Amino acid sequence: MVFRRIRQAIADTSVLSQTATTITLLNAAGRTVSVSFSSDPDIAVTEALDPGVRNTLAVEIKGGADRSNIHNRLGEAEKSHAKAKAKGFAEFWTIINAAVPLATAQTESPTTNLFFNLDGITDPSDEGVARFREAVTSRLGVPSSTSSVNFWRSWRY
């Protein structure tokens, strides 16, 4: 679901190719950017440089809705971010499904640069949709989908 939301945020003109697990883009700097759904990190964003690849963004998704276990899930996100940091990733996002105060989330996963609520990025009436779309397109260096308002409203779960 999160991977699809990322794809829907991106203007079609920026997409070079797409599979079930990877979106390959051309960003404003003319560099190839890959968004890959994997296991650790859950979503990895890399940018092709000459020579090599730069690991830019690691996203962890913690989908459990049980609030009593949120501390464990945030701790797991923090461990995953530490591994990603060791691989050279520079920015870290965590998407959670349980309501938790931001201060608590920041304490449990201090490496996380941005937190998003899963409901907030999937509910078209939530202001988190626009926040997520802007964060995605800004980080990737690509324009937003021109039909961004309509595709969020027409999304079928």
pLDDT, tens digit (0-9, with 9 covering 90-100), for 29-69: 999 999 999 888 999 999 999 889 999 999 999 877 666 67
> Which pLDDT score is estimated for 65?
65
Bigger pLDDT: 153 vs 59: 59
Is residue 147 scored above 60 in pLDDT?
no
- To 10 degrees, what angle do helices 128-140 and 2-9 make? 70
Alpha helices in 21-101 (DSSP H): 70-86
51 by DSSP, 3-state: which? coil
The whole-number average pLDDT for the span 135-150 is: 80
Instruction: Give the pTM.
Output: 0.87
CA-only gyration radius of the chain, Å: 15
Enter the CATH code of domain 2-142: 3.40.1350
